[in-house]
Amino acid sequence: MIDETVDEIREMQTHSSSVVAIKAARALETLTERDVATVEEFIRDLERNSNTLRRANPSHATLHTTQRTIVNTVVENEPDTVEAAKRHTADAVRSVIDRIETAKRGAAENGAERLQDGMTILTHDYSSTVLEAIERAASEGTHLEVYVTEARPRYLGRKTARVLAAIDRVEPHLIVDSACGTVLPDVDRVVFGMDCIVDDTLYNRVGTFPISATAAQLDVPIWVVGSGAKIIEDGFVFENEHRSTSEVMLEPAEGFIIDNPAYDATPTSLLREVITD
């Protein structure tokens, strides 16, 4: 299961960072099903596989912190038997998953409370936390008009628009990324999810920075909604992912180079509020 999860993370078949972290935690728990002779052997296996899962996407802050938490928890408990080591691993995985789900739910609830009836918002890419906040607000009677950027080159914004189309009291519009400046003057809030915040920088799906800069120029407040676990103070260096050029253009690139970064960096000074659990 670990190899399959590593492949899935590398291919980004699952786009929600919380879902990725949970899948990786459950994959690591499968080590408790293996037969090992000593505690030292089990911990070496745990550390090696955790490192493999983390390396599958070095830009994933939640993946990084949750994997580190599981391994550190087992090591710090100093198990004296293999059975105890396995028990600590299973307990740590359950604790991590519970915290992820609780934090995501809390951030969505706090985001929903700030969405007011009749508000027009713009969002970018696909954030399950932002979607949950919108759905919660709508279920409580809030009417929202939502502009969604396509989020080229993977078009995950189209997925967001389809989800929004199924929610009562939400009127979704799909626009190309470069059209954000035409609608932002009529927008009350820009609402992003987040991959992570490290020091004074928000790392999120590419396109976040130009939208933020345009919104700041037009004095449109920007909210970021996500788990507090994604705010990293130490022990993590963000590494951008450069994806396949075929996502940008299928034809051969003759005489030019195609760059396809997955994320960009937005100064937190452009943000009005970071809403967490």
Output the six-digit token pair for 98. Answer: 């519970």
- 181 shares its domain with 59: no
H-type helices in 144-268, by residue range?
156-165, 180-183, 208-217
- 135 shares its domain with 222: yes
Q: Which of 106, 122, 155 is the last residue of a domain?
A: 106
Output the six-digit token pair for 109. Answer: 């609830």
Q: What is the CATH number of the domain that holds 1?
A: 1.20.120.420
d(CA 79, CA 224): 40
- 232 shares its domain with 165: yes
The model's pTM = 0.83
End-to-end distance of the chain based on CA atoms, in angstroms? 31
pLDDT tens, residue by residue, 157-196: 999 999 999 999 999 999 999 999 999 999 999 999 998 8
Q: Which of 61, 83, 106 is the last residue of a domain?
A: 106
How many independent structural domains does the chain possess?
2
- 232 shares its domain with 267: yes
Q: What is the CATH number of the domain that holds 269?
A: 3.40.50.10470
- 184 shares its domain with 85: no
d(CA 198, CA 121): 25
Task: Give the residue numbers spanning the domain of 24.
Answer: 1-106
- 1 shares its domain with 71: yes
Nearest to 14 by CA among 211, 202, 159, 226: 159
Residue 257: its pLDDT value, please?
95
Sites in the chain below the pLDDT cut of 50: none
Nearest to 198 by CA among 232, 239, 234: 232
What's the full length of the chain, in residues? Answer: 277
d(CA 138, CA 134): 6
d(CA 238, CA 198): 8
Q: Which of 58, 76, 106 is the last residue of a domain?
A: 106
Output the six-digit token pair for 189. Answer: 């809030």
- 174 shares its domain with 268: yes
- 162 shares its domain with 90: no
d(CA 209, CA 203): 9
- 55 shares its domain with 183: no
d(CA 73, CA 192): 32
d(CA 120, CA 188): 5
- 24 shares its domain with 99: yes
Phi, psi of 104, deg, nearest 5: -60, -45
The half-sphere exposure of 251 on its side-chain side, counting CA atoms within 13 A, is 4
Residue 55: its pLDDT value, please?
85
Residue 71: its pLDDT value, please?
95
- 27 shares its domain with 156: no
